[in-house]
A = this chain, B = another copy of it.
Amino acid sequence: MSDRIPFAGDPEDSHEAIMRATFCALQEYGYAGLSIQRIADEADLSKSTFYHHFDGKEDLLLSFQEFMLAQFDRIVQLESTGDPEQDLKTFLGLILDDLPDYGEMPEKDAVLRSLVELRAQAVHNAEFREKYAETDEQFAKRFEGLIRDGIEQGEFADVDPERTSQMLLTILHGAILQHATRDDDPAVEIRETIDEYIEQHLVVEDVAGDA
């Protein structure tokens, strides 16, 4: 069910259990320490059940990229207000601010670090690079949808939705990379800069006032 809160309650099936276990194991052991055994233990499943679902670590991590996108979509849906500017900021804030308190959600730093570590594996893995091109594209489409909504509703300027969403995705990746690999917590300042970008580049000033 797509309206369920991510990571809350029991997993729906063993596929979801494995995905959640991967998420936890990645944060606990890092990419280098991520083993099928640890994931199976974390999911409380046997290794043979694991291999019923996945051929191995690479196959698992390709699915995991999609799983993360789906979880993200769920949160966005739960947090959506219907106002494009607000939703765009919420969307970015979900990654850059503290995570919403959904019971079992882990802390932000750990999530961003594991995302970067996993992503860096694509440097030497062509299948990962193909999958990231795909999930990035899907991610950018979420921005694009919100931007198109905003333009239609007259809230946003008549920007190029595709290009602007690529820009937002790029900023987001840059923010994640910096945050996960620096010790001075740049996400907060970056967040303000992004909001400013949205306000200056996207939002149409209400010259006629509130009337």
Contact = CB atoms under 8 A, between A and B. Distances in A.
A52 interface: no
Give the number of copies in the complex. Answer: 2
A35 interface: no
Interface in A175-211: 175-178, 180-184, 186, 189-190, 192-193, 196-197, 200-201
A170 B172 CA distance: 8
B163 A170 contact: no
Contacts of A116: 120, 123
A173 B177 contact: yes
B183 A126 contact: yes
A132 B175 CA distance: 14
A129 B182 contact: yes
Given A129-B183, A181-B128, A196-B163, A113 B117 contact: no
Interface of A: 30, 113-114, 116-117, 119-120, 122-124, 126, 128-130, 132-133, 136, 163, 166-167, 169-178, 180-184, 186, 189-190, 192-193, 196-197, 200-201
